[in-house]
Amino acid sequence: MGNEGSFWRTMLPSRRRRDVPEPSPSDGHHVVVIGAGFAGLSLAQTLGSTPFRVTLVDRRNYHLFQPLLYQVATAVLTPGEIAEPVRRIMKRHPNVHVLLGELDGIDPQRREVRIDGDILPYDTLVLATGATHSYFGHPEWEPFAPGLKTLEDARQIRAKVLLAFERAEREPDPAERERLMTFAVIGGGPTGVEMAGAIAGLARQSLARDFRTIDPAAARILLIEAAPRILGPFPEDLSAYAERALQHLGVTILTGRPVEAIDENGITLGGERIATATVIWAAGVAASPVGAMLGVGTDRAGRVRVGPDLSVPGLDGVYVLGDLALAHDEKGRPLPGLAQVAHQEGIYLGKALKARILRGEAPAPFRFRSRGNLAVIGRNEAVVHWETFKLKGFAAWLVWGIAHVYLLVGFQNRLLVSLRWLWSYLTHQYGSRIIDEDTFRRCPGPTKTSVAFRASQVGGRRDRAKGHQGQGSVPDPFRPAERSRHGEQGEV
């Protein structure tokens, strides 16, 4: 016990004790839930308006509908249409106290957690902090290949994609222009497929007539997968259908090609160098680092092994849900990191806690009931797989849309997303193509090589301008227009 106490004192740094104010009423079993994702939110809602005291903690003040995050990254939806303030969601439940803060440490012996350094005691602790990106031992790739887990990630990717076209419009070097208009999506799962299809739709539909020097439809979009085929969890015929549909959109699919290197100028696949200015990571995830705070060990992905009731063996009153949990089905297979798994786990644990604590009953083990796998490819194209049932094409696209609108939190978001999709479907226009100044500053600009080339070439192009007049060459946006007969400078 002495060694354990020393360990937890290390996890919780010594400082003056300051308790987090607890919600009224003061009696009742106190459940602290860390994380307001699908698992944490469904648990808090299940325990809402019950004798339990529930404290829901998250470092952001909103619940994010991650399955549609790629549509924010590709300018289809705005951030507010897939996010809902947690306090608004929980306002119907007076026994649920919402706190904005970040977890600093856990002491299971004292049944306490630290939130931004302040102590919060609990009777039952539930960790549902989700996952982050995994670069398979190459963290140096992250600055050049952002993943897609947060609204900040989506804004950054949206800015990178839109800025690539903007910079290509003013780029005089054909090779650099081609690099700027090459987009590489790494990972052929549903997220990668949806991202590649959405970028293709943006380039070939929404941006098609907006530029004068470049043709956005000529953008090169690569979907890279190390496995033999894309959409590995789906049946082979649906995977093949998705591949054909993506190719019809102009996406180049590279399978069996693991990534070897990523830097600011491009990627390397099997010794082949591909120049690209925009790389998007959709290849792997790892559990959030919160699992390591428990001191019980994790698997290679950082997940905490849990029992059939989602409790952590050896830690009384501690449960782990969602992407942070290494849970198994009745056949002993690990459950996938899907939103529907996390949602069902939250509902199950809420009912299990009510059975165990309020009624003294032992709950049955958790059983996941699959609602099927869905992936959208593009306009009128999607695939759906549920047990032996398969669907593809327009019908699957409708099922995908209805399912995602239904799962959105809040009637307002459901209505706004439905209207936004209808407008985009009828007009082929995306409504959120704004590059905000803060994101613009964070996105890397042209490389030094490109800048040097531009500086050396602009003067030469001006000197050669007279010799190339009338030959139908592409206008150089960096060369001023020729003087008129009256000697006045024309407009750029």
DSSP notation for 101-168: --EEEEETTTTEEEETTEEEE-SEEEE---EEE--TT-GGGTTTS---SSHHHHHHHHHHHHHHHHHH
- Tokens 């919160």 belong to 290
Query: What is the β-pairing status of strands 53-58 and 30-34?
Result: parallel
Q: Residue 104: what pLDDT?
A: 94
What is the CA angle 148-150-156, rounded to 5?
A: 65
> For this structure, is 194 an active site residue?
yes
Q: What are phi and psi of 262, to 5 degrees?
A: -140, 130
The Cα–Cα gap between 479 and 465 comes to: 9
Q: Residue 477: what pLDDT?
A: 46
Q: Residue 441: what pLDDT?
A: 63
The Cα–Cα gap between 417 and 404 comes to: 10
Query: Which contiguous run of DSSP H or E holds residue 263?
Result: strand 259-263
What is the tens place of the pLDDT at every residue in 214-268?
A: 999 999 999 999 999 999 999 999 999 999 999 999 999 999 999 999 999 999 9
Q: Identify residue 374 by its one-letter amino acid code.
A: L
What is the tens place of the pLDDT at every residue in 263-286?
A: 999 999 989 999 999 999 999 889
Q: Tell me what the mean pLDDT of segment 14-40 comes to.
A: 72
The Cα–Cα gap between 489 and 466 comes to: 16
For residue 103, the tally of other CB atoms under 10 A from its CB is: 22
Please provide the average confidence, as pLDDT, over all residues in the chain. 85
What is the tens place of the pLDDT at every residue in 338-390?
A: 999 999 999 999 999 999 999 999 999 999 999 889 999 999 999 999 988 99
Q: Residue 27: what pLDDT?
A: 64
Q: State the CATH architecture for 2-59+101-133+286-358.
A: 3-Layer(bba) Sandwich (3.50)
Residue 42 has pLDDT above 60, yes or no: yes
Q: Residue 462: what pLDDT?
A: 41
Confidence of residue 153 (pLDDT cuts 50, 70, 90): very high
Query: What is the β-pairing status of strands 112-115 and 278-281?
Result: unpaired
Confidence of residue 416 (pLDDT cuts 50, 70, 90): confident
Q: Tell me what the mean pLDDT of segment 46-70 comes to.
A: 96
User: Given this chain, do its domains 2-59+101-133+286-358 and 139-283+372-441 carry the same CATH topology?
Assistant: yes
Locate 98 and state its tokens. Answer: 């919402």
Confidence of residue 14 (pLDDT cuts 50, 70, 90): very low
What is the tens place of the pLDDT at every residue in 168-190?
A: 999 999 999 999 999 999 999 99
**Following DSSP, what letter does each residue of 336-404 receive, concatenated?**
P--HHHHHHHHHHHHHHHIIIIIS-PPPPPP------EEEEEETTEEEEEETTEEEETHHHHHHHHHHH
User: Which of 160, 309, 308, 185 lies closest to 249, judged by CA?
Assistant: 185
Confidence of residue 6 (pLDDT cuts 50, 70, 90): very low
Residue 395 has pLDDT above 70, yes or no: yes
Locate 288 and state its tokens. Answer: 């959030």
Q: What are phi and psi of 133, to 5 degrees?
A: -80, 150
Contact predicate 220/249, CB 8 Å: no
The Cα–Cα gap between 33 and 115 comes to: 12
Q: Tell me what the mean pLDDT of segment 40-60 comes to.
A: 97
The Cα–Cα gap between 122 and 33 comes to: 10
Residue 7 has pLDDT above 90, yes or no: no
Q: Residue 149: what pLDDT?
A: 93
User: Which of 159, 211, 212 lies closest to 445, judged by CA?
Assistant: 159
- Tokens 């987090």 belong to 20
Catalytic residue among 194, 225, 345, 381: 194
Q: Cis peptide before 446, with omega less than 30 degrees from 0?
A: no
Q: Tell me what the mean pLDDT of segment 483-487 comes to.
A: 36
Rg (CA), the chain: 26
Q: Residue 258: what pLDDT?
A: 93
DSSP 319: E
For residue 466, the tally of other CB atoms under 10 A from its CB is: 8
Distance (Å) of CA 251 to CA 82, 154, 367: 27, 21, 38
Q: Which residues pair with 252 in a beta bridge?
A: 222
Residue 310 has pLDDT above 80, yes or no: yes
Q: Which of 63-77, 281-295, 402-416 has the lowest mean pLDDT?
A: 402-416
Q: Tell me what the mean pLDDT of segment 307-316 comes to.
A: 96
Q: Residue 428: what pLDDT?
A: 67
The pTM for the full model equals 0.82
Please name the fold of domain 139-283+372-441: FAD/NAD(P)-binding domain (3.50.50)
Q: Residue 47: what pLDDT?
A: 97
What is the tens place of the pLDDT at every residue in 458-467?
A: 444 444 444 4
More confident residue, 15 or 206: 206
Contact predicate 72/161, CB 8 Å: no
For residue 138, the tally of other CB atoms under 10 A from its CB is: 13
| Percentage with pLDDT > 70 across the chain | 82
Residue 449 has pLDDT above 60, yes or no: no
Residue 429 has pLDDT above 90, yes or no: no
For residue 251, the tally of other CB atoms under 10 A from its CB is: 22
Domain ranges of the chain: 2-59+101-133+286-358, 139-283+372-441
CA 426 vs. chain centroid, Å, equals 27
